[in-house]
Amino acid sequence: MTDKLHAADTPPAADEPPPAEEPPPAEELRLPDELYVPNELRVPDALRVLCRLDDLADGESKGFEGAAGSFVGLFAVRQGDQVHVYANACPHIGTPLDWVPGRFLSADRSRIICATHGAEFRIADGLCLRGPCRGDVLDAVQVQVNDGVIYVSTTAGV
């Protein structure tokens, strides 16, 4: 009996793993304070409706107002089920791109055209392929299309 008590008081040998601690119950687990984000802050951005997908004909472009308080509008180009949205500001000197309000595409609808100096941009990613800002890109806006409605961030274009 005395030997058993004595053995329990001695520290484990260096090559023995330390005794496992009992984990806390699940209801007591919580993130460290520095990693905790309240629910209302977990959505990166609120969304707003841009328009219905049906309101933007396939192969066409359309202009929209920018975010509240912004001087920069947006424009969208639809290619089938895909919708590309950009801030309506040319990377060359920042002017709006549309040559007629709401018209952003070349005659064959293969490229976005800037009305000011004629820069041409690829529709899929906004890269300038020709013109004074060749190699620059349009400011792309993230888009969600759900149930036939096009959504963008409420801060898009700011």
Of these, 103, 116, 120, 155, which contacts ligand FES (CB under 6 A)? Answer: 116
111 binds ligand FES (CB under 6 A): no
Measure the CA–CA gap between 104 and 117, rounded to whole angstroms. 13
Q: Binding of ligand FES at residue 132 (CB under 6 A)?
A: yes
93 scored as a contact of ligand FES (CB under 6 A): yes
Q: Nearest CA to 106 among 137, 53, 54, 61? A: 61
| Nearer to ligand FES among residue 66 and residue 91 (C-beta) | 91
The yes or no reply on residue 90 touching ligand FES (CB under 6 A) is yes
Rounded Cα distance between 48 and 85, Å, is 13
Q: Is 152 helix (H, G, I), strand (E, B) or coil?
A: strand
Residues that bind ligand FES (CB under 6 A): 90, 92-93, 95, 114, 116-117, 119, 131-133
